[in-house]
Amino acid sequence: MTGGTRPEWAWKILPVVAVLAAFILIQSGRVLATPTEEPELPAETPDEFFAAGFRKHMAGELDEAIALYRESIARQPTAPGHTYLGWAYAHQGRLDDAIAECEKAIKINPDYANPWNDIGSYLMAKGELNRAIPYLRRAMEAKRYCCPHFPHLNLGRLYAVQRRFRDAKREFERVLELVPGYLPAILSLKILEALMAQEAEQSI
């Protein structure tokens, strides 16, 4: 799946997967937000540098956010600091740097789920689908996670691209068990049902 010529069916579902991924990203809140006009006080502590970096990040000021995340880490390395620095790198398209930061976060706190899920999503973006699977599964097992439905959603998307439709359906349904009415999962299931119906017709 990660190299060579794509089969014909892959080209047909790529636009669907791209739209779905963009929609999920928007709904998940993992996108850049509109900048605020609130005045900022000078940062002094690691937490303050991190918070300032996050504000810049959400405002789309990635270079400034990266500098502030680095200042936070220089004062006190933390799993969230490295994870969010990686997220900023990912927004710049620096996926290998993003993965490296998440690996540092995991070394600090392997029970922090975010970097496991994020590495999985970055590997998916690189087309390394099979490598992404164990990271997403590890995120599901982590003790500390505010959004345990994210790795299930990502794994469902991955399985859909691999045409493992039944496995994808199971993951999307698990998302809805964790967060009933979650719109990205509902939409994913509808798209998946359409793909499954198309495959059934082609097999006749």
Note whether 35 and 59 are within 8 A (CB).
Answer: yes
Give 115: exposed, middle or buried? Use CB within 10 Å, 0-12, 13-18, 19+.
buried
Reported as a pLDDT band with limits 50, 70 and 90, residue 144 is: confident
Per-residue pLDDT of 74-123, as tens digits, reads 999 999 999 999 999 999 999 999 999 999 999 999 999 999 999 999 99
Which CATH code fits 9-30+43-195?
1.25.40.10
Domain boundaries, the chain: 9-30+43-195
| Token pair recorded at residue 51 | 């918070």
Per-residue pLDDT of 39-87, as tens digits, reads 455 668 999 999 999 999 999 999 999 999 999 999 999 999 999 999 9
Angle at 93 between CA 89 and CA 96, to 5 degrees: 70
Give CA–CA dist 156/170, Å, rounded.
8
Q: Is the pTM of this model over 0.85?
A: no
